[in-house]
Amino acid sequence: MFVQEEKIFAGKVLRLHICAADGAEWQEEATEDTSVEKLKERCLKHCAHGSLEDPKSVTHHKLIHAASERVLSDDRTILEENIQDRDVLLLIKKRAPAPLPKMADVTAEEKKKQDQKAPDKDAILRATANLPSHNMDRAVVQTNMRDFQTELRKILVSLIDVAQKLLALNPDAVELFKKANAMLDEDEDERVDEAALRQLTEMGFPETRATKALQLNHMSVPQAMEWLIEHAEDPTIDTPLPGQAPSGTEGAAAAAAASSEAAAGASSTDEEARDELTEIFKKIRRKREFRADARAVISLMEMGFDEKEVIDALRVNNNQQNAACEWLLGDRKPSPEELDKGIDPDSPLFQAILDNPVVQLGLTNPKTLLAFEDMLENPLNSTQWMNDPETGPVMLQISRIFQTLNRTEKESPP
């Protein structure tokens, strides 16, 4: 009986778990003396875009050892790469380099930029030299052209103070705000998709890194996996995302609040209720405080800006990265401190708002205060509260009063 020589000297058979970037997973068996290139060819048979007729398909992909995050060399064997039985390998398509632009394309692009370039100050002066001049009070124009979103923040700051004072007089205020606080606990959006996290950890990625990758990539497993591979050698990969507090911080704050409530037990019932209500207000403010977009923070910090000033810029500009960048490079107006200033309590606008019956009734509703707090630090959530049956009518009245007075100011002579 004859036995083939290759079977006599064949290495140990390993069962490998292969994961593709599109989410496909399968088992692949290979001997220890199989080259990485041969294994890659077999893996590509499972992919729709893989074709052995195209030799470039093999060179355009790479195999990565998930546990060690190493890119496997094509000319080495599985044994030489120290691959063990049941190891997880990732099949990733290499990024193709961007083609160099042709000279004609460069010239056309430069010409297009020149055509779209805004005129400078000298060009504007030359073009308007023959126009008649008008003496206008810039302060009046600026006042008459007030932006509702800019003024709304000042209005909300002042209305929050009024609402807190009114609600503190309600004998059921403590119970109402305890329920509101519990509603916020259920509405936290910092949760991580458990299934996606489990999928990444099973590939060998640490849980903290996998969590960070999912948060940065909107819970997309393929994008998170690609991010983990690209930043494997990054020394800051385990650094918490900017603006995120350690998990123990909230627990310590809650414990401190509990201890302060216990200490207040010896005081009178009214003082205890006020203290408890104050603590609930603080908890609500902490949960509704501004949350900077993590990707925008990282991008701006890579430009050389400090984390604190980046978060200030995003807060001033409603988490808009481009606007925040312009704010950082410009005169930085308005300043973050100006965001916390309320409207003049004696102004006609604020008096008209407080005199409105719908607003008066809304200020006695704890949900209205929650809406004001949320819109103050997360202006993009305004649409949600405008469509709410309880808070929508209040916001509608505030908008109508502002537009009416603003229109009156525009029509009045300067």
In a domain, 22, yes or no: yes
In a domain, 89, yes or no: yes
Contacts of 150 (CB under 8 A, 6+ apart): none
In a domain, 312, yes or no: no
In a domain, 46, yes or no: yes
Rounded Cα–Cα distance for residues 338 and 361 (Å) = 29
In a domain, 105, yes or no: no
- What CATH code is carried by the domain that includes residue 77? 3.10.20.90
The pLDDT profile of the chain, 414 residues, written as one tens digit per residue, is 454 544 444 568 888 888 888 778 888 888 888 888 888 888 888 765 544 445 557 788 888 888 888 888 888 888 888 888 888 888 888 876 666 666 666 566 666 666 666 677 777 788 888 877 655 444 444 444 456 766 787 888 889 888 888 877 777 666 766 665 565 554 444 557 788 888 889 888 898 888 888 877 767 788 888 888 888 888 888 887 655 544 444 444 444 444 444 444 444 555 555 555 556 555 555 545 667 777 888 889 888 888 888 888 887 877 788 888 988 988 888 787 777 778 888 889 899 999 999 999 998 888 888 888 778 767 767 777 888 889 999 999 999 998 888 877 666 655
Residue with tokens 């006609």: 348
Count: domains in the chain = 1
In a domain, 33, yes or no: yes
Give the single-character DSSP code of 20: E
In a domain, 135, yes or no: no
In a domain, 81, yes or no: yes
User: Do 343 and 349 contact (CB within 8 A), yes or no?
Assistant: yes
Range of the domain at 37: 13-93
Contacts of 26 (CB under 8 A, 6+ apart): 18, 46
Rounded Cα–Cα distance for residues 16 and 215 (Å) = 29
User: Do 37 and 75 contact (CB within 8 A), yes or no?
Assistant: yes
Fill in the amino acid letter for 398.
I
